[in-house]
Structure 1
Amino acid sequence: MARLLGKILMRPDIWPAAIRLGWRLRMRPDPAYMKFRMVTMYGDADAQPQIHDLINYLKWCKAWGRITR
């Protein structure tokens, strides 16, 4: 978690997306949903999200926010 936070802190352009995502996820997602997402992403229900994938997701959230405004 500290490495992810460090990577986010180095990217001020994605801070707003990270804050919004953190607010949305303040209640942890359903474990069954997370297992499904890990299987679809990594092929393993017990996989952990990779930091670069999380950063890319935040960049996508930022871009999507611009598109939908």
Structure 2
Amino acid sequence: MSVIIAVLRKPPLWPVALKQIWRIRKSNWYKRPPFLPVPEKSYIDFRIHTAYGSSEDFSRLATDVVTYLKWCRDWPSRK
């Protein structure tokens, strides 16, 4: 929940956040409840484990997500 709040506090990152969620959405998300384009739980668990290891301390998670979204926004895109 802290990640969502951190992103909601940064309106300039909303389009980037939506784009990133869309990119990692589950295949055929529209065929299964809850009918939302969200990633697989196993994918999120894998990404968190690769970032933080087996630690249960996710106190930096919200800050790290905001930093990642800023990086995505500032990365030069191919047009």
Uncovered stretches (5+) of structure 2, i.e. residues with no partner: 27-38
Q: What's the Cα RMSD here?
A: 2.8
Relative contact order higher in (CA < 8 Å, ≥ 6 apart): 2
**TM-score of the superposition, structure 2-length normalised?**
0.59
User: Which residue is equivalent to 1:68?
Assistant: 77
- Percent identical pairs in the alignment equals 32
**TM-score of the superposition, structure 1-length normalised?**
0.65
Larger radius of gyration: 2
Runs of 4+ in 1 over 4 A off after TM superposition: 45-49
Greater fraction helix = 1
With over 3 angstroms needed to count, the CA separation of the structure-2 counterparts of 1:32 and 1:62, relative to structure 1, is: closer
User: For this pair of structures, how many residues does the alignment match?
Assistant: 65
